Amino acid sequence: MEKKGKNIIKHIEPGSIAEEMGVLPGDFLIKINQQLIEDRLDYEFLSADDFLEVELEKSDGTQWVLEIEKEVDEELGIIFTNEEADKTKQCHNKCIFCFIDQMPPGMRESLYVKDDDARLSFLQGNYITLTNLTEKNIDKIIRYRISPLNISVHTTDPERRIQMLNNRFAGNVSSLLDKFHNNHISMNLQIVLCPGWNDGEVLDQTLQDFKKIIHSVVSIAIVPVGKTKFRDGLPETGSVTKEIAKKTLNQISQWQNVYREMTGEKKVYASDELYLNASEDLPEASFYDSFSQLENGVGMMALFKKNFSDYLKKMPLIRKKEPIKICVATGTLAAEYINKITKELERKVLGLKIEVFPIENNFFGKTITVSGLITGRDLIEQLKNQSLGNHLVIPENMLRESENIFLDDITTDDVSTELGVAVMACPIDGIAFIRKILRISALNPKIRSVEKNGKTHCCSSRSSQCRKINLF
């Protein structure tokens, strides 16, 4: 058997089952429970059982068969030599709305990587178009009951989807959705709304087509297309104007009634950006059922406000001995909303002044209004002559995950030096926001008295999936 890099063991976690069983770096994993390990998905699913028969080839060429009893989902503690290599399937579409194709040249290489991999749909929550699935891939999804799948549909009209994705294999999406439905695979669906392509009657037909699979649909998100100034070579698509946003929200409301009658849930939801574009009030948190598409900015601001308001009610009135000013920078879309709720915190913490700065996106173009695409350079240029006090709070989705680097490779330290102010990144959660403000102002850092009435409900566990959405 050919020893593929992805099956060669690189590291064994100390104290793990694998270490106890004598597995060593350099060993080669062949099978688990008689099933060949072809990729990470095989390993993740097959190793989750409570009884495993693991076939290995040791580095000296001897064959081992290990029988392992463990708790369900208890990990073996194996890390492979080249996880990259469990080669991520690249996207072969040329979508008219693809944000990666709307980025300027010269940025870091990782920003231009486009994946379209069913394994990452399950493991990391990524959205896939289904255009590069083989029959073997489909069979594996069904065999392992990979649910929920996160699928970018955009439209069920075969010809229009082929045109929107620029892929001749894109027209069979309905048959694939039917197959997953018939095999009890649950799905989150996504529609990027591109005026002139998949709005209006085309959107109605797509939502009509979803009726036959609706009991397998966890949620449907409708999000407006984002258009940068670097669209050279891409087909024209209209922008989501206030009028289009209002019309689409009305359509969505009608389909929510249809789906609720069928399933007891609304199923289809607009992103927060659509409400803000339409200048309409955002729904309350109770509107969103299970918040299945926070990563698409669906209900994120409602959840932010709920957590913020619930936490604020538990706080005592605080009087600051000396006034303190804290500044917040965010995208132009949500700035007014964030400014409004910060006034509530000011009324609870006397002597606290919070100033919210909307940052226009000069880098990608002013049509991009979300916070997650603001660059360090735009922050510096627009805030350098402002009175910022001692601290500037930014949403952490402005930064590369687990790093203090903006999209343009400027660091938070660079911004801090240029502006002469400490830059503090905050998770996109109402509770975390209050805590960050209170810690900065040195008001009871542990905040234990605030939580005396019970547990809080924070969505920060989802923060890694919410990094690029349009909030705060």
- What pLDDT does residue 33 have? 92
Q: Cβ distance 271 to 470 under 8 Å?
A: yes
Q: By three-state DSSP, how is residue 432 classified? A: helix
| Run of H or E residues at 216 | none
CATH topology assigned to domain 8-81: Pdz3 Domain (2.30.42)
**DSSP β-ladder status, 318-331 and 349-359:** parallel
Report whether pLDDT(458) > 60.
no
Mean model confidence pLDDT for the chain: 86
Half-sphere exposure of 310 (CA within 13 A, CB side): 20
- What pLDDT does residue 205 have? 98
Name the pTM for this structure.
0.80
Query: Which CATH number, 1.20.1300, 3.80.30, 3.10.50, 3.30.70, labels domain 99-298?
Result: 3.80.30
Q: For residues 36 and 33, give the distance between their C-alpha atoms in angstroms, rounded to a whole number.
A: 9
Q: By three-state DSSP, how is residue 398 classified? A: helix
Torsion angle of the four alpha carbons 49, 53, 58, 64, in this order, in degrees rounded to the nearest 10: 160
- C-alpha separations of 439 from 275, 394, 455 in Å: 32, 15, 19
Domain 306-441 has CATH 1.10.10: no
Report whether pLDDT(446) > 60.
no
Least confident of 79-83, 99-103, 401-405, 461-465: 461-465
- What pLDDT does residue 119 have? 61
Q: For residues 177 and 193, give the distance between their C-alpha atoms in angstroms, rounded to a whole number.
A: 20
Band (pLDDT 50/70/90 cuts) for residue 107 is: confident
Least confident of 160-174, 278-292, 405-419, 434-448: 434-448
Q: Please compute the mean of the pLDDT values over residues 104-116 and round it to a whole number.
A: 72
Question: Which of 77-81, 179-183, 291-295, 370-374 is the most confident on average?
Answer: 179-183
Dmax (CA) for the chain in angstroms is: 73
- Centroid of chain to Cα 157: 26
Give 306-353 as a DSSP string: HHHHHHHHHSPPEEEEEEEEEEEEEETTTHHHHHHHHHHHHHHEEEEE
Report whether pLDDT(90) > 60.
yes
Q: For residues 137 and 126, give the distance between their C-alpha atoms in angstroms, rounded to a whole number.
A: 16
Q: By three-state DSSP, how is residue 407 classified? A: coil
Tens-place pLDDT, residues 143-185? 888 889 999 999 999 999 999 999 999 999 999 999 999 999 9
Band (pLDDT 50/70/90 cuts) for residue 408 is: very high
Report whether pLDDT(280) > 90.
yes
Query: Alpha helices of 210-334 — where are they, by DSSP H?
Result: 242-263, 272-277, 300-314
- What pLDDT does residue 256 have? 98
Report whether pLDDT(466) > 70.
no
Band (pLDDT 50/70/90 cuts) for residue 454 is: very low
Torsion over CA: 6, 17, 54, 50 (sign): negative
Between 161 and 49, the more confident residue is 161
Q: Give the residue extent of every domain in the chain.
A: 8-81, 99-298, 306-441
Between 445 and 222, the more confident residue is 222
- What pLDDT does residue 87 have? 57
Band (pLDDT 50/70/90 cuts) for residue 284 is: very high
